[in-house]
């Protein structure tokens, strides 16, 4: 007797009503042709001290019902002559229909040249899946900003729902009067109970030449943890 395994979404065969191999139809994975690619608005490098840098990118997922559980990316830092100075790989999740910041801190360059440009390479064919939209239940209020003795951004983060949430990522981008980002930072709130408000402080190691004209704050909860 020949054993014939049951069709599945992981057998490398287009079967059981799948739209393509192991995607679409009864499978959780969505076929690549049915997902819009991620849109990158900008990527920036921010000098900290010596040969240390922060890097950030503003990205948007225009798919209203699709997300990515594990997205790979790589920041690349260059000097004014397009010489590659440093790289940093990372991974994050992508929620449906969200605009979000990818942030990496303390990227070290072994070169003495100054990094002036950042690029981000995002995984070309991530595994898109159907996932619930994150309810817009978190609000962020800017309380104040001080540039001396070192820059500090004071925020209040509130959970406006009747549910408790964990691992809330808070990101902030500081921009000048021309809306050019010149600094970014991020932190996590371990838990925010229903109706709870918590203070958050984001800091930088040295004063900025100008105070921010714009402060854009973002929060994220992993939609895949809500299922």
Domain boundaries, the chain: 35-130, 138-225
Q: CB-based burial of residue 81 (10 Å sphere; 0-12 exposed, 13-18 middle, 19+ buried)?
A: exposed
Nearest CA-CA partner of 158 in 182, 142, 145: 142
Instruction: Give the chain's radius of gyration (CA, Å).
Output: 21
User: Rounded to an integer, what distance in angstroms lies between the CA atom of residue 118 and that of residue 128?
Assistant: 26
* Common-topology check for domains 35-130 and 138-225: yes
CATH class of 35-130: mainly beta
List the chain pLDDT tens, one digit each, 227 residues: 565 677 778 677 777 776 777 778 888 778 888 899 999 999 999 999 889 999 999 999 999 999 999 999 999 999 999 999 999 999 999 999 999 999 999 999 987 789 999 999 999 889 999 998 999 999 999 999 999 999 999 999 999 999 999 999 999 999 999 999 999 999 999 999 999 999 999 999 999 999 999 999 999 999 999 86
CATH topology for 138-225?
A: Immunoglobulin-like (2.60.40)
Give 79-83 contacts, CB < 8 A, sequence gap 24+.
79/111, 79/113, 79/114, 79/115, 79/116, 79/117, 80/114, 80/116, 80/117, 81/113, 82/117, 83/111, 83/113
């Amino acid at each position: 007797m020949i054993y014939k395994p049951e069709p599945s979404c992981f057998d490398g065969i287009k079967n059981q009503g799948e739209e393509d191999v192991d995607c679409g139809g009864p499978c959780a994975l969505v076929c690549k042709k049915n997902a819009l690619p991620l849109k990158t608005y900008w990527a920036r490098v921010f000098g900290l001290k010596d040969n240390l840098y922060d890097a950030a990118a503003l990205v948007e997922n225009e798919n209203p019902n699709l997300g990515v559980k594990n997205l790979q990316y790589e920041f690349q830092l260059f000097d004014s002559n397009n010489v590659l100075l440093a790289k940093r790989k990372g991974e994050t999740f992508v929620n449906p229909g969200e605009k979000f910041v990818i942030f990496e801190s303390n990227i070290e360059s072994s070169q003495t040249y100054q990094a002036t440009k950042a690029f981000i390479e995002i995984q070309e064919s991530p595994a898109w899946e159907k996932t619930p939209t994150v309810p817009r239940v978190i609000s962020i209020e800017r309380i104040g900003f001080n540039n001396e003795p070192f820059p500090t951004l004071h925020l209040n983060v509130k959970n406006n729902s009747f549910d408790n949430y964990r691992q809330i990522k808070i990101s902030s981008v500081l921009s000048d009067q021309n809306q050019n980002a010149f600094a970014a930072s991020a932190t996590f709130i371990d838990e925010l109970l229903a109706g709870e408000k918590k203070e958050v402080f984001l800091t930088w190691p040295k004063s900025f030449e100008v105070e921010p004209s714009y402060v854009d704050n973002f929060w994220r909860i992993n939609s895949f943890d809500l299922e």
